[in-house]
Each structure stands twice: as C-alpha cells, then as structure tokens.
Amino acid sequence: MPIRWRDRISPTAVGLVSRAWVIGEVDRAADRAGVVDAATRAQLVDALVGYEPPRTHGLRNNAIVWVGLIGSAMAAGAIGLPGWVGFVAALGAFLLIARELAVRALRWRLAQLLAERRT
C-alpha cells in the first residue's frame, strides 16, 4: 500500500503510532507471510488502526508517571536547573516507553491476525 501524506499525520486508536507506521509494518509482515492480496492488507491495516490494547492498572500507572514527573522536576531543581527541564526530560522518557509498549502491542496483534488468516 502506498503511504500518503495524510497517513503520516493520522493517529491510530493507540495514539502514539501513525497510520503510516501501521501500513509499513503490515507491508513488511505481509511480505514475510506471503500475503499478496491488496484487499487483505487493507483489512489488516484497518484492523490495526482501530485496535486498542486492553488497559489495566490505570491508577497505578498514573501514580508512577506523576511521581516520576514531579520527582524529576524536584531533582532538576536540586542540581540547579529549572524544574521544567526535569519535567520535560521525564515526560519525553515516559512517551518513549509508552510508544514502545504501543508498538509491541500492535505487532503482537498483527501476528495474531496473520495467524488467524493462515488457519
């Protein structure tokens, strides 16, 4: 599938991954699995764009993030930097972790969908 400009700015249900990333991942996985049908690839893309991994431990995760953000702001202040520097650094780190977890969940779901198509 060709990746268009609007695919690059269209978010998925996960939010941290674009539709263009999903199209590229489906193309790579479908090539390895031997799926050549464009309609099947489009169905896989649509299924992944709408997929939301199960959300668990929301209160715990919120507490971890806020303690980390505020704690890093305090640590930055303790070493003489503005507090927002530590806050932004921790926010960036948490976003990287969240994106990696989203990518892993989407790859897992894609593997499941391809396995269902083989059987």
Query: What pLDDT is recorded for position 35?
Result: 82
Contacts of 7 (CB under 8 A, 6+ apart): 18, 19, 20, 23
> Could you give the number of structural domains in the chain?
1
pLDDT, residue 93, reads: 97
Overall pTM > 0.95:
no
One-character DSSP codes across 27-79? HHHHHHHT---HHHHHHHHHHHHT-------HHHHHHHHHHHHHHHHHHHHHT
For residue 73, give its domain range.
5-118
What's residue 87's pLDDT?
98
Phi/psi for 4 (5° steps) reads: -95, 170
Averaged in consecutive runs of 10 residues, what is the pLDDT profile of the chain (119 residues)? 88 91 94 87 94 90 96 98 97 96 95 88
| Predicted pLDDT of residue 54 | 87
